[in-house]
Amino acid sequence: MDLADSRPLAGAVVIEPTEDEAGRRAAAAAADLIVAAQQRSGAARVIFASAPSQEAMLAHLSADARIGWTTVRSFHMDDYLGLAPDHPQGFGQWLSDRLPEAARPGLQRIDATADPDAEIARYTGLLAEAPIDVTCLGIGVNGHIAFNEPGDTDFADTRLVRRIRLDDVSRKQQVDDELFETIEDVPEFALTLTVPALTGAAAMVATVIGAHKAEAVRAALEGPLTTDCPASVLRTHRQASLYLDAGAASRLTPDRS
């Protein structure tokens, strides 16, 4: 899919000087949405990314006293196949380590050691039980969201979860982020939520940090709507906002930044 479409992002594009300030603003927006869902229905269902770009956002979100974490059901958007549940590079473990203790019983973790087809069916069922209120995500250096890679993404996928082979750019990003020592250490396969699983949330809050993400941000906001930059799909969502530090915003045209 490649559409000559220049529509803007529906929500705010907020640029702050530092990672901490961008994370604080993103966390405040996400917290507002979570609290509103809790007030509306007594609970909130949230999908989280597990990545260094989310550290500041999650720290500020965890400290927000307005959120009753015992009524938040959390999901993570991808994980490497074959990693043990307590592996420090596993995304479920990474997220569990950064959410408040009260949130951990409500974290629905992907079992990366299970039969992939069976786990896809199980996690799909959990996601489909009720609408998702908020997706908190990042953008990869190649424009991926979750592990929906350029050239291997379907904006109209009928599935909620699928097995994928990681792009080499995505695998190198894990090394550059100091999550693995070498690219050979990074697993080749993962389970990922699909684009419709992410965009099906009532609201999306994206946090992107660092100059190494600047070209992906530019493509997502100013390029065509295309699966060559999966993050461009954010511009089709009715309530998506994007929070950037100065580095991540550095390739945007002046009138946008």
Q: How far is CA 229 from the centre of its chain?
A: 15
Marked catalytic residue, from 78, 79, 119, 245:
78
Our answer to whether residue 237 is catalytic in this structure is no
User: CA-CA distance, 161 to 158, in Å (whole number)?
Assistant: 9
Let me know if 78 is a catalytic residue: yes
Q: Which of 142, 148, 237, 245 is catalytic?
A: 142
187 CB neighbour count, 10 Å cutoff: 18
Distances (CA, A) of 243 to 66, 71, 158: 21, 26, 29
Is 149 an active-site residue?
yes
CB 19 within 8 A of CB 56: yes
Which position has the token pair 């099906």?
200
Which one of the listed residues 16, 79, 149, 167 is annotated catalytic?
149
Q: What is the secondary structure of 65-99 as a DSSP string?
A: TT--GGGEEEEESEEETT--TT-TTSHHHHHHHHS
Spot the catalytic one: 16, 119, 133, 144.
144
Q: Is 32 marked active-site?
A: no
Give me the active site residues, please: 78, 142, 144, 149
